[in-house]
Structure 1
Amino acid sequence: MIIQAKRHNRKVAVLFVDVDNFKYINDTYGHDVGDEFLKNISRCLIHSLRPGDLVGRMGGDEFIVVLDDVAKVEDIQMVCRRILENCKNFNHRDIKIAATMSIGVSVYPDDSEDYEELIRFADIAMYNSKQKGKNTFEFYSKELAEKLKQRIEMINKIVDAIEKEKFVVFYQPILDISRIENFNQIKEEIINKDLVIGFEALVRWFEDGKLIPPLSFIPLAEENNLIFDIGKIVLRKSMNEMKNINKMLFVNASAKEFEHPLYFDTLLKIVEETNFDPSKLNIEITESLIIRNIDYFMKMSSSLINRGIRICIDDFGSGYSSFSSLVQLPANMIKIDRSFVSKIEEDEKVRKIVKTMVDIAYILGFDVVAEGVETIEQLKILQELNCKYAQGFLFFKPMPLEELLIQLAPARN
C-alpha cells in the first residue's frame, strides 16, 4: 500500500488502536468474555473503515489500521471518531461493557516513509492519547516523540534514584496555633511556647545538585508502580530520623501505596526495625482514596489504629464527600485542604464551610489541622474559627530535620 502511495504521490495513515482497560475486562468477566470482546472490536473496526482500508490485530488488545489514499487530515479524524463511536458498547449475553480506545496516528510520507517507523510513531501517539485520559486520538509529532523520550529518561532516573536511595526527607512543622498571641513575633512564640506538635515528612529529590520538583516525578512514579518503593524509603528514613524526637511524625501514603498488597506488613516491619513509637506515627490518606474505595479504607485504617498507628484524612473537603461519611470513618485527624484556607480571607461562604468542618470534626472526636497557611490574616481567622492546629509557609517552609531543629533549638527538651 505504501509502495502504491509513493508511486501515485498519495498519503497513507497508520492508526495504532489500543483497547483501554482490557485487563480489567479480562480479570472481571473472564477470558471467554474477553475473547468475545476482542472479536466484537475487530468487527467494529472493519465496519468503521472505508473500502480499501486494512485492519489487523497486533496481539493482545492492540490493532493496526491502515487508511489508503488519504486526501486530508480531516478524513483521518473522521475515521478515528467513527471508530470511537461505533465501538463504544459491547453486549454479550447479560453483560454490558462500555468500551473505549486510545488511538495514535502517523502519516506517510509526512512522518516517515518506513512502515515499521510509522507503526512506532503511531504507537508513540497512542501512548499520548492514554496520557490525555483515553478514549481519544492523537497525531504523531516530533515534539510528542521528544516529550516521550524525556518521560522515559525521567522514569529511568527514578529507578536509579530508588536503587541508590537518593530520595531525602524534608519536614514541615505542624503547630498549635491556639496559643499564638503576638502576631508580630510568631516564630519567637512558636519556640518559647514549644508549639510544634509534629512534623510532616515530605519527599525531596536532588539530582546533580538540583532539586527536582515533586510534581515532576511523583505522578510518573505512581503511573509506573514505583511510588511504593519511594514510600518505603521515606518511611524508613523519617522514622530513623524522628525516633528520638518527642514529636508526632506525619507521613503521606498515596492511593497506590495504601492499596498495595504489601503496604500494611511493610509499614509494621519498618516501625519494628526502626524501633519507632507507633503512637507517634500518623499516616495521611487523601480523601479521594476514601471515596473511591471506602470498604478497603475502613478495613486497613481500623487495622492500623488497632496497632496504635494514627490515621489522618488529608486534603479534606477536596473530594466532595459528605460530612455524614465522617461518622463512620476510622481516623484521628482531618487536614482541611489548602484550597479552602487560601480563600478564607475574602470569601464569607468559605469561612462558614471551614467553621462547619471544624465543628463537626470536634463533635466526632477528630483533631483538625489547616494546611497551607501563608498570611497572618488567615491565621487570625482560623483562630476565630477554633481551628487548633495548622501548618504552612507563614511558619516554616519544608527543610531538612537538622536545619529545622537548629531553628527550634530553644524549644527542644
Structure 2
Amino acid sequence: MTAMSSALRAWRAVEHRWQSWPPAVRQTSRLMILVALLALGTLIVYVTGGTRYAYPYLMLIPVLLAGAWYTWRGSLLVALMAGLLMAAMPLTVASGEAQATLNWVIRLCLYLAIGAFAGVLFERLRQSHLNLERAARTDPRAGLPNEIALEADLSRLLQAPARLDGRSTGVILMRIEDITEIMEALGADACDDLVLAIDRRLARLGPNLLGCYRVSGAELALLLWPVGLDELNRIAARVVELGEDNLVALGVPLRAQLVLGSALHKSPDDTPGGLVREARIAMLAATEKQRSYCHFQPAFARRGVQNVKLIAQVRRSLAKGEFELHYQPKLRLADGELTGYEGLIRWRDAQGNLIPPGMFMPKVENTTLIAPVTRFVATEACRFAMRQEKRVSINFSVRNLMDDALLEELGEHVRQSGMEPSRLEVEITESALVHDLFAAKRALERIRSCGIRVSIDDFGTGFSSFEYLRHLPLTGLKIDRAFVEGLEHDRRARKLMACLIDVGHALDLEVTAEGVETQEQHRLLQEMGCDQAQGFLYAKALPAEEVLAWQRERERSSLGSSHSASVDSRHK
C-alpha cells in the first residue's frame, strides 16, 4: 500500500511538472514521442526477424497514445502511418520474403479500427473528466464557481510576477447574515435566487473584479486583481451598500445584511488557502465587532488561535476540577434581610490564579462546552443551597434553553437532591429570549413545571418591547447595573428606574437591582420600592466557605443588635 501511494505521489508530481510546461513545448514533446515510438517499433520488428512474429503489435502503443492526446483523428493518422510502415516490412527479414497483400491490409484495418475506437473512447473519457471537473468547480444550485475554482484561480494569480505599482491580488469574503430567515420564509430556491441577484449587482464593480464564487450556502467570495488596500476598502464599502439596496428573489424584494472580510496578497509565501482563510478570519472579526467589514490583521489570527487554545483549556480544566462557584449575596431592601445568592463561575488555574468569567464565558457560550459547564454550575449551586436556607440563582444561556437533555437533568437533579425547588432560581438574559421567543417560552415553562423560579437578567438592555413579559412564566426580573449607575446624579435615570420597578410589580414579579455600590443608590432604590439588591456595597462574590462565614457573622451581628435594642427598651 505504501509503495502504491508513493507511486501515485510520484505520478502526480510528474503530471504537475508536465502541466507547468508551456503548451507549445508540450505539443512538440508529444509529436517527438510518437515519432520515436513509431521508429522504435519499426526497428524492433525488423531486428526480430519481420512481421511473422507478434512484435508488430508494438505499433499499437503510439496509436493508443495518439488517441489519448489527439482524439480519433490523431489516432487514425498514426494508425495509418504504423500500418504503412509495417506494410513495407518483409514477412521474414532473413529470406526477404514479402508479406501477402491481404496480410498487411488486414493489419492496417486492425490498426485503424483500434485507433478509431481508442480515439472515441479517450474523447468520451476526456469529456466525462471535463464534466466532472466542471461540476467539482461549480456550485450545483446557483451555477456559480465554488471554492475549488476560487483556489485554482488564486493559484494562477499568485504565481504571476509582482507588479511594479505594488497592487496585487485581493479576496473579499462575504456572508449573508439573514439567509436563514430568508430560507425559513421563502425556501432554498429564494436563497439561490438572492445569491444570483447579488452576483448580477457585483458585475458593476468594474474590471478589477475577476469573479464571484459561492464558497458555501451563505458565503460568497470576490477575486480582485490588481488592487491596493485603498481600492479593496472602497470596493468592500460598495458591496456593503449593495446589500442595503432592494434585491429581488423569486419576485420578492429583499435586503441582504452582508458582513465582509478581506485579505490582500503581500508575501511570496502566500497560498490560495491561506489568503481565503485570512479573509474568513477578518469576516469573523467583523461579526465579533458588530461591523459590516474588516480587513485582515495578524492580531485577528492570533486572537483566533488564543480562543481555540482557551476552549481546549476549559475542557481540560473542567475535567480537572479547576472551576468553582463564588456566591454574591442578595438583600431585601425593606429590612436588609439576606434573601439569597447568585452563583457565579470562577476558573482557578493550576497556579492558583483566578481567571474572570469575562475572559472565557463569552467564548464557551458559543460552543457545546456550555452544557457541561452549566451542569457543573447547577450541581454546585444545589449543593450550596442544601448547606444553608437561602435561595441560589444561576445563569442560563441561549444554548442551555435549547438543550432538552440539560433541562431534564436540571429538574431531575433538584428532585434527587431533596431540596425545595423554589430555592433554585434560573436567570435568563433578554438576548436569550430574542433568539427564539417561542422556544424560550416552552423551555421556561418546563423549568417552572419543576418548581424552579425563573428571572430575567440584565432587564432593560435586550428587548425593545415589554409585551413579551406578559406571556412568559416569570417570577422575577433583575434590572441591569447600567440603570443603577446614574441614579445619584441623573433625574431621568431615577424616573426610568422607577418605571422599570413599576413594570415588574405590575406583573407581580420580584424586582432585583444589581451593581449597587453606594449608600445613596441603596437609599434611592429602597424609596422606589425595589424588592432586592446586590452589589459590592453589601459583599463581592465569595467562595462557598467564605460567604457562609460572612453569613454567620452577619447573623451574629444582627442578633447582637437585636439583643442590645431589647435590653435598652427594658431599661427605659
The TM-score with structure 1 as length reference comes to 0.84
Aligned equivalents of 1:111, 1:25: Cα separation in 2? 41
Mapped contact 1:11–1:109 kept (Cα < 8 A): no
Picking from 367, 376, 389, the partner of 2:510 is: 367
Aligned equivalents of 1:267, 1:121: Cα separation in 2? 41
Aligned equivalents of 1:279, 1:268: Cα separation in 2? 11
Mapped contact 1:199–1:248 kept (Cα < 8 A): yes
What stretches of structure 1 of length at least 5 have no aligned partner? 181-194
Aligned equivalents of 1:376, 1:51: Cα separation in 2? 64
1:354 aligned residue = 497
1:57–1:294 distance in 2 versus 1, CA, 3 Å = closer
1:225–1:10 distance in 2 versus 1, CA, 3 Å = same
CA shift, 1:150, in A, is: 1.8
Q: What SS class does the counterpart of residue 542 from structure 2 fall into?
A: coil
2:266 aligned residue = 109
2:393 aligned with 1:218, yes or no?
Answer: no
Picking from 522, 531, 534, the partner of 1:391 is: 534
Aligned equivalents of 1:358, 1:9: Cα separation in 2? 64
Mapped contact 1:106–1:119 kept (Cα < 8 A): yes
Aligned equivalents of 2:467, 2:196: Cα separation in 1? 46
Mapped contact 1:111–1:141 kept (Cα < 8 A): no
1:100 partner amino acid? Q
Aligned equivalents of 1:239, 1:111: Cα separation in 2? 58
Aligned equivalents of 1:31, 1:377: Cα separation in 2? 57
1:205 aligned residue = 347
Q: What SS class does the counterpart of residue 269 from structure 1 fall into?
A: helix
2:173 aligned with 1:17, yes or no?
Answer: yes
Percent identity over the alignment is: 29
Residues 332-341 or 397-406, more deviating: 332-341
Aligned equivalents of 1:204, 1:325: Cα separation in 2? 32
1:43 aligned residue = 200
Aligned residues: 397
2:260 partner amino acid? I
1:257-406 equivalences under 5 Å are: 257-290=400-433, 293-319=436-462, 321=464, 326-406=469-549
1:183 aligned residue = none
2:343 partner amino acid? A
Aligned equivalents of 2:257, 2:491: Cα separation in 1? 43
Aligned equivalents of 2:471, 2:276: Cα separation in 1? 52
CA shift, 1:293, in A, is: 4.1
Q: What SS class does the counterpart of residue 4 from structure 1 fall into?
A: coil
Mapped contact 1:20–1:102 kept (Cα < 8 A): yes
Mapped contact 1:19–1:99 kept (Cα < 8 A): no
1:109 partner amino acid? K
Larger RCO, structure (CA 8 Å, separation 6 or more):
1
Give per-residue Cα distances to partners, 1:45-91, cap 9 Å, x unaligned: 44434267234344444444332222x32221222223333355442
1:64–1:298 distance in 2 versus 1, CA, 3 Å = closer
Aligned equivalents of 2:489, 2:208: Cα separation in 1? 62
Aligned equivalents of 1:359, 1:113: Cα separation in 2? 61
CA shift, 1:106, in A, is: 2.2
2:311 aligned residue = 155
CA shift, 1:372, in A, is: 1.3
Give per-residue Cα distances to partners, 1:321-356, cap 9 Å, x unaligned: 556654544222222222222222222332233333
1:225-240 equivalences under 5 Å are: 225-240=368-383
1:65 aligned residue = 222
CA shift, 1:26, in A, is: 4.0
Residues 36-45 or 218-227, more deviating: 36-45
Aligned equivalents of 1:111, 1:141: Cα separation in 2? 17
Mapped contact 1:14–1:66 kept (Cα < 8 A): yes
Mapped contact 2:397–2:428 kept (Cα < 8 A): yes
Aligned equivalents of 1:104, 1:234: Cα separation in 2? 37
Aligned equivalents of 1:115, 1:129: Cα separation in 2? 21
CA shift, 1:396, in A, is: 0.9
1:84 aligned residue = 240
1:116–1:310 distance in 2 versus 1, CA, 3 Å = closer
1:53–1:284 distance in 2 versus 1, CA, 3 Å = same
1:54 aligned residue = 211
Mapped contact 2:173–2:276 kept (Cα < 8 A): no
1:143 aligned residue = 299
Give per-residue Cα distances to partners, 1:91-136, cap 9 Å, x unaligned: 22244442233333222235854444333322322222222325x3
2:423 partner amino acid? K
What stretches of structure 2 of length at least 5 have no aligned partner? 1-156, 560-572
1:128–1:321 distance in 2 versus 1, CA, 3 Å = closer
Picking from 319, 330, 344, the partner of 1:174 is: 330
Residues 278-287 or 54-63, more deviating: 54-63
Aligned equivalents of 1:176, 1:298: Cα separation in 2? 28
Aligned equivalents of 1:61, 1:328: Cα separation in 2? 34
Mapped contact 1:57–1:64 kept (Cα < 8 A): yes
1:68–1:328 distance in 2 versus 1, CA, 3 Å = closer
Q: What SS class does the counterpart of residue 389 from structure 2 fall into?
A: coil
Aligned-residue Cα RMSD (Å) equals 2.9
Q: What SS class does the counterpart of residue 109 from structure 1 fall into?
A: coil
Give per-residue Cα distances to partners, 1:260-299, cap 9 Å, x unaligned: 3444323213223433321211111223444564444443
CA shift, 1:201, in A, is: 0.7
Q: What SS class does the counterpart of residue 179 from structure 1 fall into?
A: coil
Higher strand residue share: 1
2:162 aligned residue = 6
Mapped contact 1:249–1:280 kept (Cα < 8 A): yes
Larger-Rg structure: 2
The TM-score with structure 2 as length reference comes to 0.63
Residues 348-357 or 241-250, more deviating: 348-357
